[in-house]
Every structure is written in C-alpha cells, then in structure tokens.
Amino acid sequence: MIGDRHLIPLSPEIFNDFACPECGYPRPAGVKVMVLGKQTAAEYKCTNCGLAFVRDLPAGFSIDLPLAWRLKDKHPYHPAHGMAEDWPAYPDYQVPSHDRYYARREVFRECKRIVLLNTIDHLYGHVLLKLFNAQHYLDRHPDIGLVVMVPKMFEWLVPDGVAEKWVFDIKLKQAWGWNAGIDSFVQEQWDRYEEVYLAPAYGHPAFTKIDVHRFSRVEPFALPDYLRKPAHITFIARRDRLWYPSPWSKLAHRVMKRLGLFPGLAVRRQDQLVARTMELVRKEIPDATFTVVGLSEPGGMPNGVEDLRTMNIDLDVEKAWCRAYARSQVVVGVHGSNMLLPTAHAAGCVEILPYDRYGNMVQDIAVRHNDRMQLFLYRFVDEFATPKAVARHVAGMFKDFRVYELNMKTNTF
C-alpha cells in the first residue's frame, strides 16, 4: 500500500504504526476497522501480551491525542503526551444506535482503490473543515477514488470529481454517539475495493490553498475588485451567537434564559448594535450597502438593508447567503463556525471575539491571503466592542486599503 502520511491504510492492511498500550510491543495486529460516525477507530490484538483493544485512528480531531481502550471492559489508555477524550465512557456510547439514517451510496466513478473522507461530526464547523480536505485528494491523488461520507445537510458542498458520496440523513447531535448502523453500512461496502485508505481529515486546512468555489459553486470576492466594486458589508447576526454591549448584559441574558424570561430581549439588543454600526459606517461611506444573514427572525434593520435571516434554512438560503458573502469586502460577526463560509467568500472580516475563545482565535476564519494583507483584512475586536469601534474598523478597511496595499504588497520585491 502507499506510504503517505495523508493516506491511512484501512484495507487490506490496517494502520498499526504504534505500540501496544499495555506492554509497549510494536505494531499490534489489526482486526477490523470501525466507522462509528464521528469516530473512526480500529480493533487490534497485541501479538505479545494478547491485549484486545480499540484505538482511534489518526483522523479528525483525534490525530494528536488518540484514545485506546480495552475491549473487555472499556478501560482507557491515554497517550503519553496528554489526556485524550474518553469518548467510550460517555452515555451516548454505552448503547450503540443501529439507525442507518437513510444511508445512500451515489457512485460517479467505479474505483478499486479509494480514500475515505469521513466528515461526520457533531459540530457544524468540524464537518466543514473536514470536507475542505477533499481538494487535496482530488488534486494530488487523481488515481485514487475519493469517497466522501457526509451528513445530508452538507451534501450540496461536496465538490465535483469525487468517485462516490455516502450520504447520511443524520442531525449533528446524532453524530455524538456510537452509531453501529453507520458502521454496518460501511462494512457492507468494504469488499467492493482492493485498497482502502482513510483521509486524516485535518481540522484546520490551509485556506490559502482552498478554492471554495469548488465546494459552494460561488466565486469568492476577488481582491483586485476591492475598491472597484461598491462597498458592501454583510453582518452575521444569529440568535445563538450574540453580540453583547456589556458584561452585565451577557450575565443578565444567561440568567433570564435559564428562568425562561424575555427570550428575545438579547436578540433585539444585538439587532440594535448591528443597526447602529451600519449607521456609523454610512456616515463614513455614504454609498455602502449591507446584508444581514443568520439563524434568526428578520427585522429591525435600517431602510435599504437586505435582511436574509430566517429560522428555516434550506439549500436556496445557503446559496443566497454565500452569494451575499461573495459580494462583500467585509463580513462582521461573532466568533464561531458560522464565520467559516463567510470568510471563505468575502475579502476580509471583523470578528467579535469572546474572552473564552482567545485560544481558538482564527480557527473559524478561512484565511484567503498569504501575505501581510492578512493583518489588514482579518480584524478582531473585544467581546463587548461598541458599534463605534466596529464601524471604525470597517470604514478603515475601505479608506486605508489602497495605501496599505501599495506599501505592503505592491511596492516590494
């Protein structure tokens, strides 16, 4: 089989480039692969001490901290360099689910050698980030068929050129658990192929190498058009990712939410912050236009604002939002996976970054530029930034663009 760290062998050989977690003997014997939904693991048996165990394969968000556990009693073995997530101990993993989630196999090209990209996850952003790995295999391994495992709600983003897609009508929260039904479906496919590899599905691909058009079928904003096209800014204003005016308002909202009081008050306050920011930007850039998107009820915006928010997201909505991002020089929103597609299509962003997310900074940003334009076009403001502070950044990203681009990009070797 191919010796490539981006291709993890599954069949006819099973990845075993590690030692037994009990006795330390190298290269245990692979017994079978287990695709449980979010987790892709394999069963092994040590050829020295006889330990039967299951171990995470180095894929997804388990690459650096793979967990192993003893088959007879689920006793965990953590890697020497840190504590891994003990997922078999969670209640949702104690009783396997046998629901196959209306699994559907769609074949575009018959292949005997495949690489399996498992994008199933319980977090929206994780699915997207894994899916973006597809481009590497389409471009670098055209001789190996790419098979994408994908939740139905993300099927529209599967790029052209894949050999197959395995689509599961699974909700995000259902990916958190032992999905024996998914594993059964995968096992039924195994004998079709002579060689099977697993894609590591890296959680943070290099976005400067990603062509998002291949996924969304929407051309992103072209940087040479930054000042040629009318100024357009898109705000991501969701009811579950809120911009708060102060620490007190954040605390008050959380308390009232638990008590079931005034459920829409914080959302309306966020709308006021967004609307005020637009008014301040218009004072500096009178011809600026705006779009608002997000999982929320529309309303409360100034005249002339395109409000595309909705509580019922479908394919038409997703594409309309992507088209809005793609005509935006700047997108503005609160930190979260909701910023991935906006920043993959827009030229830049202003992100409102909560204090408890400093360690996750830029993980939700699809950084498109590989020079010092990064520092100009991707900006982060305080969790409780005022509309004035946000508007100052947005306006500056238009007014200062030409001089900055000349100094930092054009007038250099």
Asked whether residue 159 falls in the same domain as residue 270, the answer is no
> Which of these three, 205, 236, 256, is where a domain ends?
205
pTM of structure? 0.94
| Number of domains comprising the chain | 3
Q: Please give the average per-residue pLDDT across 7-20, as a whole number.
A: 96
Residue 2 included in any domain: no
Asked whether residue 199 falls in the same domain as residue 231, the answer is no
> Which of these three, 180, 205, 230, is where a domain ends?
205
Q: How confident is the model at residue 244 (pLDDT cuts 50, 70, 90)?
A: very high
Q: What pLDDT does 202 receive?
A: 95
- Tell which residue, 222, 220, 243, 240, has the closest CA to residue 340: 220
Q: What pLDDT does 264 receive?
A: 84
For residue 284, pLDDT beyond 80: yes
Asked whether residue 281 falls in the same domain as residue 398, the answer is yes
Q: Please give the average per-residue pLDDT across 66-85, as a whole number.
A: 92
Residue 4 included in any domain: no
Asked whether residue 80 falls in the same domain as residue 168, the answer is no
pLDDT single digits (tens) 185-210: 999 999 999 999 999 999 999 999 99
Residue 98 included in any domain: no
Q: What pLDDT does 232 receive?
A: 98
Whether omega before 12 lies within 30 degrees of 0, making that bond cis, reads yes
Residue 5 included in any domain: no
Q: What pLDDT does 206 receive?
A: 92
pLDDT over 70 for what percent of the chain? 100
pLDDT single digits (tens) 144-172: 999 999 999 999 999 999 999 999 999 99
pLDDT over 90 for what percent of the chain? 88
For residue 299, pLDDT beyond 90: yes
Q: Please give the average per-residue pLDDT across 350-365, as a whole number.
A: 95
Q: How confident is the model at residue 256 (pLDDT cuts 50, 70, 90)?
A: confident
Asked whether residue 319 falls in the same domain as residue 395, the answer is yes
Asked whether residue 298 falls in the same domain as residue 328, the answer is yes
Contacts 24+ apart (CB under 8 A), 59-62: 59/8, 59/118, 59/198, 59/199, 59/200, 59/201, 60/118, 60/121, 60/126, 60/130, 60/200, 60/201, 60/203, 61/126, 61/203
CATH classification of the domain holding 382 = 3.40.50.2000
Q: How many CB atoms lie within 10 A of CB 406?
A: 11
For residue 1, pLDDT beyond 80: no
Q: What pLDDT does 94 receive?
A: 87
Asked whether residue 384 falls in the same domain as residue 289, the answer is yes
Residue by residue, what is the 3-state secondary structure of the chain? CCCECCEEEEECCCCCCCECCCCCCECCEEEEEEECCCCEEEEEECCCCCCEEEEECCCHHHCCCCCEEECCCCCEECCCCCCCCCHHHCHHHCCCECCCCCCEEEECCCCCEEEEEECCCCCHHHHHHHHCCHHHHHHHCCCCEEEEEEEHHHHHHCCCCCCEEEEECCCHHHHCCCEHHHHHHHHHHHHHCCEEEECCCCCCCCHHHCCCHHHHCCCCCCHHHCCCCCCEEEEECCCCCCCCCCHHHHHHHHHHHHHCCCCCHHHHHHHHHHHHHHHHHHHHCCCCEEEEECECCCCCCCCCCEECCECCCCHHHHHHHHHHHHCCCEEEEECCHHHHHHHHHCCEEEEEECHHHHHHCCCCCCCCCCCCHHHHHEEEEECCCCHHHHHHHHHHHHHCHHHHHHHHHHCCC
Q: How confident is the model at residue 261 (pLDDT cuts 50, 70, 90)?
A: confident
Residue 63 included in any domain: yes
pLDDT single digits (tens) 303-356: 999 999 999 999 999 999 999 999 999 999 999 999 999 999 999 999 999 999
Residue 138 included in any domain: yes
Q: What pLDDT does 173 receive?
A: 92
Asked whether residue 158 falls in the same domain as residue 123, the answer is yes
Residue 259 included in any domain: yes
Q: Are 130 and 215 in contact (CB under 8 A)?
A: no
Kindly calculate the radius of gyration of the chain based on its CA atoms and give it in whole angstroms. 24
Q: How confident is the model at residue 3 (pLDDT cuts 50, 70, 90)?
A: confident
- Tell which residue, 250, 253, 266, has the closest CA to residue 355: 250
For residue 61, pLDDT beyond 90: no
Instruction: Give the separation between CA 130 and CA 199, rounded to whole angstroms.
Output: 9
Asked whether residue 169 falls in the same domain as residue 38, the answer is no
Asked whether residue 349 falls in the same domain as residue 297, the answer is yes
Q: Are 117 and 154 in contact (CB under 8 A)?
A: no
Instruction: Give the separation between CA 178 and CA 91, rounded to whole angstroms.
Output: 10
Degrees, nearest 5: CA angle 397-400-406: 115
Asked whether residue 79 falls in the same domain as residue 124, the answer is no
Q: What is the extent of the structural domain holding 262?
A: 215-410
Per the prediction, the chain carries an average pLDDT of 95
The owner of tokens 């529209």 is: 156
Asked whether residue 314 falls in the same domain as residue 230, the answer is yes
Q: What pLDDT does 162 receive?
A: 98
Residue 325 included in any domain: yes
> Which of these three, 205, 226, 254, is where a domain ends?
205
